[in-house]
Amino acid sequence: MGADAGGAAAAIGIGAEQARGDGTISPAAASVARRLARDAIGPGAVAWALRVIEALWVPGALLLALVWTPHTEAFTTLVLATLGALWTWGALARRARAHDVLVLRAPGRSAALGAGTLGVVILGVGGLAAGLAHWPDTPPAPAWVGAWAAVAASGAVALRLMLAGGLAQLARRGRLEQRIAVVGGGPEAEALLRQLAALHRDGVHVVGLFDDREDARSPPLVAGVHKLGDTDDLLEFARIARIDMLIVSLPLRAEARIMHLLRKLWVLPVDIRLSVHDTRLRFQPRTYDWLGPVPLLDLFSRPLRWQDRVLKRGFDLVLGSVLMVLALPMMAVIALAVRLDSPGPVLFRQARHGFNNRAMEILKFRTLHWRDADPEARRPVTRNDGRVTRVGGWLRRTSLDELPQLFNVLRGDMSLVGPRPHALAARNREWLFADVAEGYFARHRVKPGITGWAQVNGLRGEVTSDAALRARIAHDLDYIDTWSLWRDLWIVLRTPGAVLRARNAY
């Protein structure tokens, strides 16, 4: 289900339930959420980053070794030695658990494992490659292999010692952890919480328990974990606190309660898992998503893993900076035209829904007469709308009024590509968008964008019907479920043509 959240949600009817939606949260949940308002770095992210750095260091160390030592090896031999060392090192490091967070936080053990695995592998694979290159002759031991192993091992020691110090600092600040909220109660939740408590040294932090029941079956403290509220509290909690995973701790036989919870929770940009430790059903091990020894079933997965978010943010910063430099002269001309065309400020600021349903302020060139400004978007702009200025009409047709949102992209509020941000009170006639389209808030599981999959498919401008809004939401969810960096680039390249072909932007 986690692989295609939008399709799975539609298949099982998710989207019909709405949360309380009044923005309130229990005092206990609010207090904890404020302490967790900054992102944590999960153990998996640290391990993945270190693997990438060490993998890049293997060929880097070889280049340094070749500078210092003479060699007669062919380029093909060096390439094959590097690839063989990387493959063998990856397998050995995984078997030795050289990237486990507990290992990485122990400086001596981490340095020894890092240097040992790299050094042994390079000596073995490099020596084998050199021997095969000269076969059937038996050359003396090549100096470049020993130098390569020494440089690689020394670099691994230095890197891992620095990393251990950094991890200690992060751990003291509560920033090195995988934050988990548990949903449910009773004996099942208590058993799960005790298992998770045993994973505390591995970086697992249970932030709280949420349960809709208010009777004696839902005590305020379970296995040392405080109950912070019900599932409506959890929705607001997850928009303040930065959490990584929700675990639903209900028996599989409680299908109706599980479905009721998922109809509320699937809109959150977190991993959602179902605890199955208490069931008598036994699936194949690969069926489970394991958290240490705790078996879980994958219900919904975070749309973008942390490495995807790094790639997407890098794409935004690099391409966004280039576009900003190219657009600055045009933006200066547009600003002058807006100023001369009608009285009022050049820029229009409006609160809109951002990532995880949090409010953010976007920037646009002003296109309406200042006296007719509608910051709450209670009255959509329509064809031949008298509120639109002469310059504003041209800007809206060409979407050039959106150019200042490049500042939002560089600031990190938005992405170049993503679902378009809607005003907080955006409506289709008298109905709020969220009341018209089921699963509306699920489009906020990623950052909003300047352009998007819906827009390049002709779905931009005025929302004229409920069906048109639902079509946009469907395209947004499809984009989220099938995201890739190449698709972002493809959407950016298609955007100019889509703007020129648009017929309902005014």
CATH number at residue 216: 3.40.50.20
pLDDT of residue 21: 47
- Structural domain total, the chain: 3
Residues 94 and 218 in one domain: no
List CB contacts of 338: < 8 A, sequence separation 6 or more: 346, 365, 366, 389, 391, 392, 395
Residues 36 and 55 in one domain: no
Q: Are 383 and 364 in contact (CB under 8 A)?
A: no
Last residue of one domain, picked from the residues 142, 172, 202? 172
Residues 54 and 153 in one domain: yes
Respond yes or no on whether the N-terminal peptide bond of residue 140 is cis (omega within 30° of 0): no
Selection from 294, 244, 296, 252 nearest residue 274 by Cα: 296
Residues 288 and 322 in one domain: no
Q: Are 50 and 99 in contact (CB under 8 A)?
A: yes
Q: For residues 150 and 162, what is the distance between their CA atoms, to the nearest angstrom? A: 19
Q: Are 466 and 474 in contact (CB under 8 A)?
A: no
Residue 135, in any domain of the structure = yes
> Does 15 have pLDDT greater than 70?
no
Q: For residues 202 and 99, what is the distance between their CA atoms, to the nearest angstrom? A: 12
pLDDT of residue 505: 63
> Does 354 have pLDDT greater than 70?
yes
The pLDDT tens digits of the residues spanning 462-471 come to 676 778 888 8
Residue 506, in any domain of the structure = no
Inter-axis angle of helices 231-240 and 27-35, nearest 10: 30
pLDDT grade for 283, boundaries at 50, 70 and 90: low
> Does 398 have pLDDT greater than 90?
no
pLDDT of residue 423: 83
DSSP single-letter state for residue 70: -
pLDDT of residue 138: 60
pLDDT grade for 174, boundaries at 50, 70 and 90: confident
Q: For residues 129 and 77, what is the distance between their CA atoms, to the nearest angstrom? A: 6
Residues 340 and 229 in one domain: no
pLDDT grade for 412, boundaries at 50, 70 and 90: very high
The pLDDT tens digits of the residues spanning 92-115 come to 988 888 888 878 888 888 999 999
Residues 394 and 493 in one domain: yes
Residues 168 and 74 in one domain: yes
Domain that holds residue 343: 307-501
Residue 396, in any domain of the structure = yes
Residue 433, in any domain of the structure = yes
Selection from 340, 464, 476, 451 nearest residue 400 by Cα: 451
Residue 475, in any domain of the structure = yes
Residues 352 and 490 in one domain: yes
Last residue of one domain, picked from the residues 267, 302, 337? 302
Residues 219 and 368 in one domain: no
For 156, 240, 367, 504, the CA distances from 391, given in Å and listed in that order, are: 60, 40, 7, 17
Q: For residues 109 and 160, what is the distance between their CA atoms, to the nearest angstrom? A: 10
Residue 156 phi, psi (nearest 5) = -65, -40
3-state secondary structure 276-321: CCCCCCCCCHHHCEEECCEEEEEEECCCCCHHHHHHHHHHHHHHHH
Q: With b meaning 16 or more CB within 10 Å and e meaning fewer, what string describes 230-250?
A: bbbbbbbbbbbbbbbbbbbbb
> Does 6 have pLDDT greater than 60?
no
pLDDT of residue 264: 84
Residues 11 and 69 in one domain: no
Last residue of one domain, picked from the residues 302, 335, 352? 302
pLDDT of residue 503: 66
Residues 332 and 469 in one domain: yes
Residues 156 and 223 in one domain: no
